[in-house]
A and B are shown apart, each in its own frame.
Chain A
Amino acid sequence: MSLLQRSSRRYLTRHPWLMGLSVLGVAIGVAVVVAIDLANTSASRAFQLSAETVTGTATHQVVGTGETLDDDVYRRLREAGVRPSAPVVEGYGTLRRGDRTFQVIGIDPLADAAFRPYLGTGASGDLDLGTFMTQDVALMSAPTAADLAVSSEDTLRVEIEGTTHAVAVAGLIEPRNERTRRAVANLLVVDVSTAQRLFGQDGRLSRIDLLAPSDDAARAVYLDGVRRALPDGARLQRSDTRTETVTQMTEAFDLNLTALSLLALIVGAFLIYNTMTFSIVQRRGLLGRLRALGVTRGQVFRLVLGEAAVLGLVGSALGLLLGVVLASGLVQLLAQTINDLYFVVEVSEVTVAPWTLAKGALLGLGTTLLAALPPAREATNAPVSTVLRRSTQEAALRRWAPWWAGVGVLVMGGGGLLLLGTQQSIWAGYGALFCLLVGAALLTPLAVVALASGARPLLGRLTGVIGRMAARGVVTNLSRTGVAIAALTVAIAATVGVGIMIDSFRGTVSDWLEQSLQADVYVQPPSLVFRRSTATLDSSVVRRLRAVEGVAGAYSVRRVRVQARVGPTELVAVEPGPETEDIYQFRDGRPDTAWPAVRTGASVLISEPYSYRYDLGVGDSLRLQTDRGQRPFAIRGVYYDYGSDLGVVLMSRSTYEQYYDDRGVSGLAFTAADTTSVDALIADMRASVAGLQDVLIRSNRALRETSMRVFDRTFTITTVLRLLAIAVAFIGVLTALMALALERRREMGVLRATGMTPPQVGGYLTLQSSLMGAIAGILSLPLGYVLAYVLVFVINKRSFGWTLQLSVPADVLMQALVLAVVAALLAGLYPTWRMARASPALALQDG
């Protein structure tokens, strides 16, 4: 080991706390990034796998206008000689045992072998057709059956949209490898007839699977033939369209999670930067002497980067381990959120993708090295003579502070331009956010000088000379304090920004729910995806509920997914009542002319996210696939809606019935007669449908509470990320300030020697670090606000198209200040204790 390396090792081992905390900072940063990435990958892989399993080898699919299509289409295709082709009826069900969600797929065992050979159907299979086709039986994966302690011929209780069905296990699918084991883990395979019964879809199919020839010319002829055989309302699409659509649904959501996780890493990078800068500043004398002894710039540069690499490696390795552990927790949160917002996915395990780990390790190491570059350059660039004298540098730094601030303003301006120059790019939004953070960090030294100078008279009046000294010390040690405070400011501001954003979001949704839930009682079938319930109420339930005494008004809602020219679209058909016009707040369009048009004709309203996503507005026309073919609908208004980030198209029930054959109802809203209490009405309603479908009957207030609960649940993962960022920030404050205090042993020695008592020295130290914490806290508030502003009005808008009301919650701000000061106080305690015990004489010997 060379002398240089030895000196480096000595330095690192002499400062275990400092190094340990820095490593921890990197580790948490890497862990968060890795965990989010793993959770995202696992969820999308689980979905992909289940989609692939169910799609099988199909290249194309025939689908209907809505969720289903008439099974006569299948008959037509078969008679037109379209083979192979297979009918599919699919949906989701919850198994009472184990409370697990299963994908239920109804197949025709006689036509299915070409598409899903692993099911063992077909003429050469060993499936008992007599049982499979004539009874309510299902096949399930053997390992899953073992997990749930289900054996062949047991009867399962499967709950679908509020109705429980008995389905016997007719057989077990024995997966031969790991991949297929995962693929079929949450699958129940039934006959088409059974699926139609379970989902109440008599005469309807979910889709028809096709296998087109691979040769281009033959494929074109084949697809042409299929199209000719299709009636109006049936549509041919590539089988990956569906997976793509679903992946697109969560794209913005995934991206934001990734960006937020990167924020934790950036905060971690600031910590590394701070640590490395600090170590350089502290060893400036040593480095100067080394240079004077003939060590080259390159050697010093490599030395500093080498140290950073060690920290980065250790931190990243720890981070990877921590990330995998964290991911297993996050993946359930994420799956819950996706289930609440988008689609059903059961993620039973974390897929540890080697690529994710490699990415995490590279990112950790890369960020560390990048953060160490400026300090390394600083250590090598200065001439030997000045490196030996710190005072010159402090003076230079103070002189340069305004220039740095200028550069900071420029960087921020660049971020602003990035926002102005782009319309929809979410990455540009985050780029601007990054510019903002860097700019703010560059501005910090000037702000520190100003704030500390401002605080000096105040502290002087309160605590006398010690206070003045403390304030003065912050400025005179700007090379150390400036960097530390900048790192802390950025870390705390990030948590403030995310905090404000979540709160604004919540407030807006809460106001919106207040506005839009005006009926007294709401009835829905239970649905697996909370915000996109397309489950259907039993028609007898609807009839009975409407007839309950005490009902003054009843309005139905139908939610279906249809195909629009622009893409898959959620269509809502409402029965407009007298209050309807109050419920929908228009962003564009005139309610007084829009509503009459929507009530009577081919006109629709679209929600704000829909308008944003597809760039549609009032006056545009929207082409929807209906049971009467493709039809144009005039857009009469854009209304605020926070129910779905995918957007919604709204039409009146009468228009819906004119264009679609479906007569189902997804939900009902009731107003109670003046003479009836809502609670009594709900009790009557529950009694009237007892024994039928198990529907949710809720009061206005209960539904609002449930909605907010779901909202909070969907933000759990964001909150967790924010807490982790807070943890990193806290560690940052602690590290930076403790390091500063420890480094000043000699100064303390001088103070002790000139007569200060240990408590006085302790007070001085604590006061100074509290002051720095307070400065960081105060600086983080405006920065946090600006971050929140960008998150709410740029990132959120670009990701989801929502207009949110920015509200600044006092507790988030207080939290930031308390975090900063408490961490600062803690950072002062340990050095105080050591200082008080140390002999001034020893401390005076230059260490």
Chain B
Amino acid sequence: MSRSTTLIAILTGTLLALGLGAYWLTAASDATDLQTSLSVSEAMGSDTTGYRRATKVRPFTFPADHGPHPGYKTEWWYVTGNLTGPEAQSYGYEFTLFRIGLTPPDAAPDSTPSDWRTNQLYMGHFAVTDGTSETFHAFERFQRGGAGLAGAQANPFRVWLEDWSMASTGASTFPVQLHAQTEGVGVNLTLDPTKPRVLQGDRGLSQKGPGAGNASYYYSYTRLATEGTVTLDGDTLSVSGQSWMDREWSTSALGPDQEGWDWFSLQLDDGRDLMYYQLRRTDGTPSAFSEGVIVAPDGSTTTLSRSDVSLEVLDTWTSPDGTHTYPVEWTLRVPGKDIDLHVIPLFPDQELNVSVRYWEGAVRVEGSTSGRGYVEMTGYGESPGSPVS
């Protein structure tokens, strides 16, 4: 090779090397992945220091107690119901608004003019079960309890998360209107109780675990006449049926050795309503703190303890991804009350695969009497035991 060719070759090589070097220095992949390390604390974490606890029986005052109790870590307005469409189709719905205190009440947020600043977090779960087509639709939303985006108030009664709301329609608390709408699926229902309010547990103090404070304040409306519309796939149908409303607030409910619960709310055709929850221990056995109530047609109540009730699983169902297996068919007996029920879901797949996975579904009841109801099961997978604990 001649000298000048060599020179040119060397120069070209140098240029090429320069270019490649520069490219190597600056080239970066286009993936925008970042990771936040740091700040580990679950929004709904288990640190309960500084919150108020449900330690003793308290007098309830209404309508004030329909409103929020921000001193406690978690609270919910929980409604489920079984509805019948114009052509006798069966529908179920769950609409729950949760309130979560992010920080203890005395650790007041910094003083700031911004009404976005709040330590109150709201979570909404909304699910509709279509018994005819055996389809299940579930939705979840979060919002801060500030800037008017979400919140709760007692008088006039209103709990809302953006356009999802439950609110009084007039001057008195009831009737309450439920409104939840998402793309293609929604409910718009008016609820009016046909039985008086029931204070659960010991006059509204519901002990969930050993030790003072491992309890919640808990009251229910076990039967509410329900009228309104259900929207599915864009079709709006008028429906009627019965709903159940639970109100509960607490700071710490489950003990460390409790992993979840199976909770039944059944409206029987003989006019009685039955609530029973079984708290499961980590070894699978039911906890002694499991309890329930039977509400007679006239509204009088009988408390049930674990020994009054026998519960047997007849069938299980595993979620499509194979990670969660839930019991889905039960025998529930209360021998002392002539109750021997076969509890069957409208169909098995009624799992809410949201930030916390749980099964909450419409069921029908056969046996000593017929009826309808809802069952909630938590703690059957690797995720934490409850939506909000």
Contacts and interface: CB of A to CB of B under 8 A. Distances in A.
Contacts of A125: 36
Given A81-B183, A152-B38, A173-B36, A133 B102 contact: yes
Contacts of B183: 81
Interface in A100-150: 108, 110, 117-120, 123-136, 139, 142
Interface residues of A, number: 75
B119 A133 contact: yes
B176 to A, nearest CB: 19
Contact of A2 (B2, B25, B32, B113): B2
A317 interface: yes
B36 A136 contact: no
21 contacts: A9-B3, A80-B163, A108-B144, A110-B142, A123-B140, A130-B41, A130-B43, A133-B118, A172-B36, A172-B38, A173-B34, A174-B34, A175-B34, A176-B34, A179-B28, A180-B32, A202-B114, A313-B11, A352-B22, A354-B22, A357-B22
Given A110-B143, A352-B22, A310 B2 contact: no
B307 interface: no
A454 interface: no
A321 interface: yes
Contacts of B12: 313
A71 interface: yes
A634 to B, nearest CB: 39
Given A81-B182, A135-B109, A352 B25 contact: yes
Given A81-B183, A177-B28, A134 B102 contact: yes
A197 B148 contact: no
Interface string A7-27: 011000000000000000000
B31 interface: yes
A177 B33 CA distance: 8
B15 interface: yes
A97 interface: no
Interface in A294-353: 306, 309-310, 313-314, 316-317, 320-321, 324, 351-353
B236 interface: no
Contact of A180 (B34, B144, B355): B34
Contacts of A131: 39, 41
B45 interface: yes
Contacts of B107: 134
Nearest to B22: A352
A78 B142 CA distance: 12
A321 B26 CA distance: 16
Given A135-B110, A203-B115, A321-B18, A306 B4 contact: yes
A351 B37 CA distance: 28
Contacts of B133: none
A800 to B, nearest CB: 32
B103 interface: yes
B305 interface: no
Given A71-B116, A179-B29, A110 B37 contact: no
Nearest to B186: A81
A120 B11 contact: no
Contacts of A353: 22, 26
A75 interface: yes
B17 to A, nearest CB: 10
B50 to A, nearest CB: 11
B255 interface: no
Contacts of A139: 36, 38-39
B8 interface: yes
Contact of A202 (B23, B34, B115, B144): B115
A5 interface: yes
Interface residues of B, number: 60
Interface centre among B23, B146, B149 (most CB of A within 10 A): B149
A314 B11 contact: yes
B38 A124 contact: no
A365 B141 CA distance: 62
Contacts of A810: none
B121 interface: yes
Interface string A624-666: 0000000000000000000000000000000000000000000
Contacts of A197: 112-114, 117
Given A74-B149, A142-B37, 20 more contacts: A8-B4, A9-B3, A80-B163, A119-B34, A124-B355, A127-B36, A132-B39, A134-B110, A136-B112, A175-B34, A176-B31, A180-B33, A193-B118, A194-B114, A203-B115, A313-B8, A317-B11, A353-B22, A354-B23, A357-B18
B30 interface: yes
B15 A361 contact: yes
Interface in B158-192: 162-163, 181-183
A78 B31 contact: no
Interface centre among B4, B7, B14, B163 (most CB of A within 10 A): B4
Contacts of B7: 310
Contacts of A324: 22
Interface string A808-830: 00000000000000000000000
Interface in B317-375: 354-355
A182 B34 CA distance: 11
Contact of B39 (A8, A108, A127, A357): A127
Contacts of A271: none
A119 B28 contact: no
A2 B4 CA distance: 10
Interface string A343-386: 00000000111100110010000000000000000000000000
A171 interface: yes
B147 interface: yes
Contacts of B88: none
B38 A171 contact: yes
A134 B37 contact: no
A527 interface: no
Nearest to B142: A110
Nearest to B102: A130
Interface in A138-186: 139, 142, 152, 170-180, 182-184
Please name the 6 residue pairs, one residue from A and one from B, whose CB atoms are nearest each other, closest first.
Answer: A120-B36, A118-B34, A171-B38, A193-B117, A178-B28, A171-B39
Contacts of B121: 110, 129, 133
Contacts of B114: 192-194, 196-197, 202-203
B19 interface: yes
Contacts of B103: 130, 134
A202 B117 CA distance: 10
B384 to A, nearest CB: 13
Contact of B116 (A183, A191, A314): A191
B30 to A, nearest CB: 7
Nearest to B20: A354
A317 B14 contact: yes
B96 to A, nearest CB: 16
